[in-house]
Amino acid sequence: MIEIWYTHFHEPFTDETWNACLQKMPETIQRQAMRFVRWQDRHANLLGKTLLREGLKKHGYPPDCLKNISYTEYNRPCIDGAIDFNISHSGNYVVCAINTVGRIGVDVERMKPLQIEEFKDCMTSEEWRAIQEAPGRLEKFYELWTLKESVIKGDGRGLSLPLPDVCVEGEIARVGKVCWYVKKINLDTHYSCHISANHEISSLHLHKHDDAWFHLPV
């Protein structure tokens, strides 16, 4: 089963709420959050971990489970072999995907104007043609970008895996002989979001939380 936990924010928490959320985290995660200069990045980092903790609690993990997070050689966080998770944030959205039956990757991006041509080398020739022929070139670019990013995050090698090596074929992406199943997540018309899993996605549950949720005891 795959679960998507997500939230969005538009202004900083009060000092009281921020400190309350921060103190519920292990010291390593507290230090990670405080390294960011921009308050938006600090909030996104902490909210991602808060969503993860809540999701893991629903699966029987203790409240202090995040102290057991470790990292692979590619710096991908993991907690044990029984469950997989991935976190992404962009703009005002934070998304945490949890998978109990296989690997999972998620990527969300706010669709800001950009020079698409600068990213041509990230696409296969077929993908680049699809972007050029699409009625909405920017939307198509972000669709393929978030799809590919979700795959390399699920794979675990991150940017060590070149984006052109992820070949998109509809709702399937291939990395060599490995097949990844992908699905679009509709969060907001101004954002593009995809998840990918190393198995068919037959069960998907979305959990949305607004700012008020973080003011409650967790």
Q: Residue 54 belongs to what domain range?
A: 2-215
pLDDT over 60 (residue 107): yes
pLDDT above 90 coverage of the chain, percent? 82
Backbone angles phi, psi at 17, to 5 degrees: -70, -45
Per-residue model confidence (pLDDT) at position 5: 96
For the whole model, what pTM was predicted? Answer: 0.93
Q: Tell me how far apart the alpha carbons of residues 33 and 131 are, in angstroms, rounded to a whole number.
A: 36
Mean of pLDDT values over 139-145: 97
**Where residue 158 sits, what CATH number does that domain have?**
3.90.470.20
What total of structural domains would you count in the chain?
Answer: 1
Q: Tell me how far apart the alpha carbons of residues 168 and 4 are, in angstroms, rounded to a whole number.
A: 22
Q: Tell me how far apart the alpha carbons of residues 156 and 159 are, in angstroms, rounded to a whole number.
A: 9
